[in-house]
Chain A
Amino acid sequence: MRLEIKDLRVHYGKIEAIKGISVVVNQGEIVTLIGANGAGKTTTLKTISGLRKVSSGSIFFDGQDISKVPAHERVDLGISQAPEGRGIFPGMSVLENLEMGKFNRKDRKSEMKEDLDRIYTLFPRLKERTAQAGGTLSGGEQQMLAIGRALMARPKVLLLDEPSMGLAPMMIANIFKIITTINTELGTTILLVEQNAQQALQRAHRAYVLETGKVVKEAKASDLLNDPDVRAAYLGTGATGH
């Protein structure tokens, strides 16, 4: 698995939101895109999953240019996204939401059960709530459901869009722990978009810093944690010590 974005440009109408960025995600990595609001993080993810059109540049997935492939076919290729703001189906039960994640997979029933078991092991909370409507879950549970649903398709790369958004600190820590587990135990490659740079940099292997549609820094995540500019801009004060 190798995901490579080359000189990507994306427009909203006449406004250029992504101004030529290049990002590489290698097999087994957790790569994070950090940056402020409006930096283009979410747009980048949406373009990878196919919800936004590419203006120029290309997206290579396992060597194949997928920038013209429609969103629903990218899932079959192995790209799954847990969308921003969780984006679960509020009127479907937890189980139905998870089943939607396998919409195109014509696996046998045993494999469906296998996948469900895998998700329930990761998120025991979801198992307790299988019959409950998605919309009535707490924010953290909805995030678990969104991630679990994306994993149902057995993706090669998992795109996570601000999984910590709107969650309580305890739950944020919990979600990030699970992200590491998914990476180490399931071997799923992860591209993580976050505003919570502290947590994201601690969990990721490599990181890109986005500012107004451009990559301004690219480095090992641990290096960025100690980078004075990054500390000043994204990790609160420039003071050291955490």
Chain B
Amino acid sequence: MINIRDKGAEIWEGWNRPKRVALVLITIVLAGLLPFAASWGPTSFLNTPITSFQNVLVYPVGMFILMALGLNIVVGKSGLLDLGYVAFFAIGAYSQAILSTKFGWSTWEVLPVGIAIAMFSGMLLGLPALRLRGDYLAIITLGFGEIVRIIALNSKGTGGPNGVAGIPNPPAVFGFKFDLMHPEHYFWLVLGMILLVVWMIRRFTVRRPGRAWEAIRQDEDVAALMGVNTLVYKLWSFVIGAAVGGAAGVLYASKVMVISPDMFKFDVSVLILACVVFGGIGNIWGVILGAGILAYLPDRIRFISDARQVIFGLVLIIMMNLRPDGLLPRKKREKITEKSKK
């Protein structure tokens, strides 16, 4: 089977800078025009039957891409299996809910604080948990995800099972209003965050952290023998992943205006992980594609809504048999062309 990723990389390598910039800009513009795709003739087949297409683009599609990218730093880059990623999403969402309804903070004020709280909780979980490996780490993170949800379910401050209602939308920025009438503005906001995260991951990957993560993923003991402080680098990937999840949570809460603990169940963690694995673990473009498809399809093919989960499961099983490395697998390194030779 041809490897689309390698083919793409080959074409990309052959291009000069202006060509690359042009491609990136065109892609961003096209992505930015997505909210209007449903009302434009040739692409109107994309329209979703129940929820409006523009809203589907924000949640689940945009949010899932964002979270899948965040989880990919943890699972894909440094190879740590995190089954409780939804916890950081929940922590971000509850930060927004509580700080805005009780203290009157705006979304833009909450955003950095929510990210910081998510990062802090990532560190709190990571410090003891990252001393464990493989299955044990997976179990601890799974437990953490449930603990966060159960605390939200049982404590008064979080509104218990009813959750928090009346969360304000973000205030307008540069004339862009964020309310029910303008879902495309939310989408652009999420798109901006996705671009920011992609840029950040690409920065990290070519520098020391990227090398360290790669080494840890391939062999943690040997990485330590090379002088990599494995605990610190694992913690960093965990905390950065948590930050992205927290940011998504803050945005999500101020978009949907009502949150409750049952939005942050274990199956969200699994679904985000499925996005990463389905798209191509460790590869940004694969993860974006995988998350986009997995988040979008259930809304598009709702006419078979009863069988939705079955078909979804079937697609995953078939995929894992045909392309176990995902849609766009990470770079296969049989031969690596030297940069200096180019």
- Judged by a CB distance under 8 angstroms, whether A27 is at the interface is no
B contact residues, total (Cβ < 8 Å): 24
Q: Which residues of B contact A55 (CB under 8 A)?
A: none
- Judged by a CB distance under 8 angstroms, whether A50 is at the interface is yes
A interface with B by C-beta (< 8 Å)? 49-51, 70-73, 75-76, 80-81, 83, 87-93, 95-96, 99-101, 103-104, 130-133, 135-136, 149-150, 153
Q: Which residues of B contact A95 (CB under 8 A)?
A: 338
Interface segment out of the listed B65-73, B188-196, B216-224, B307-315:
B216-224
Do residues A72 and B215 form an inter-chain contact, with CB atoms below 8 A? no
Do residues A91 and B333 form an inter-chain contact, with CB atoms below 8 A? yes
Q: Can you list the 10 inter-chain pairs with the closest CB atoms, starting with the nearest? A: A75-B227, A104-B227, A133-B333, A71-B224, A93-B336, A87-B222, A89-B218, A103-B227, A131-B338, A72-B229
B279 CB to closest chain A CB (Å) equals: 19
Q: Which residues of A contact B335 (CB under 8 A)?
A: 131-133
Cβ-neighbour of A72 out of B208, B224, B338 (below 8 A): B224
Do residues A153 and B227 form an inter-chain contact, with CB atoms below 8 A? yes
- Judged by a CB distance under 8 angstroms, whether B228 is at the interface is yes
Q: Which residues of B contact A75 (CB under 8 A)?
A: 225-227
Cα distance, A99 to B338, chains bound together (Å) = 14
Cα distance, A185 to B337, chains bound together (Å) = 33
Do residues B229 and A92 form an inter-chain contact, with CB atoms below 8 A? no
Q: List 16 A-B contacts (CB under 8 A).
A: A49-B225, A50-B224, A71-B224, A73-B227, A81-B225, A83-B222, A83-B225, A89-B222, A92-B215, A93-B333, A99-B211, A100-B223, A131-B336, A132-B334, A133-B334, A153-B227
Q: Which residues of A contact B229 (CB under 8 A)?
A: 70, 72
Chain B's closest residue to A71 (CB) is: B224
Q: Which residues of A contact B228 (CB under 8 A)?
A: 72, 103
B212 CB to closest chain A CB (Å) equals: 7
Cα distance, A88 to B334, chains bound together (Å) = 15
B294 CB to closest chain A CB (Å) equals: 26
- Given A51-B221, A131-B335; 9 other pairs, CB 8 A cutoff: A72-B230, A81-B225, A87-B219, A90-B218, A92-B218, A96-B211, A130-B338, A150-B225, A153-B227
Cα distance, A101 to B341, chains bound together (Å) = 23
Cα distance, A91 to B219, chains bound together (Å) = 10
Do residues A101 and B333 form an inter-chain contact, with CB atoms below 8 A? no
Interface of A, helix, strand, loop or mixed by DSSP? mixed
Q: Which residues of B contact A100 (CB under 8 A)?
A: 211, 215, 223, 226
Cα distance, A50 to B225, chains bound together (Å) = 8
Cα distance, A98 to B222, chains bound together (Å) = 13
Q: Which residues of A contact B333 (CB under 8 A)?
A: 91-93, 133, 135
Cα distance, A138 to B218, chains bound together (Å) = 18
Q: A51-B224, A71-B225, A87-B221 are in contact. Are A103 and B212 (CB under 8 A)?
A: yes
Chain A's closest residue to B330 (CB) is: A91
Cα distance, A133 to B336, chains bound together (Å) = 7
Cα distance, A149 to B219, chains bound together (Å) = 15
Cα distance, A72 to B226, chains bound together (Å) = 7
A237 CB to closest chain B CB (Å) equals: 37
- Judged by a CB distance under 8 angstroms, whether B6 is at the interface is no
Cα distance, A73 to B225, chains bound together (Å) = 9
Do residues B338 and A101 form an inter-chain contact, with CB atoms below 8 A? no
Cα distance, A173 to B212, chains bound together (Å) = 34
- Judged by a CB distance under 8 angstroms, whether B214 is at the interface is yes
Q: Which residues of B contact A104 (CB under 8 A)?
A: 227
Cβ-neighbour of B215 out of A89, A136, A153 (below 8 A): A89
Cα distance, A153 to B257, chains bound together (Å) = 55
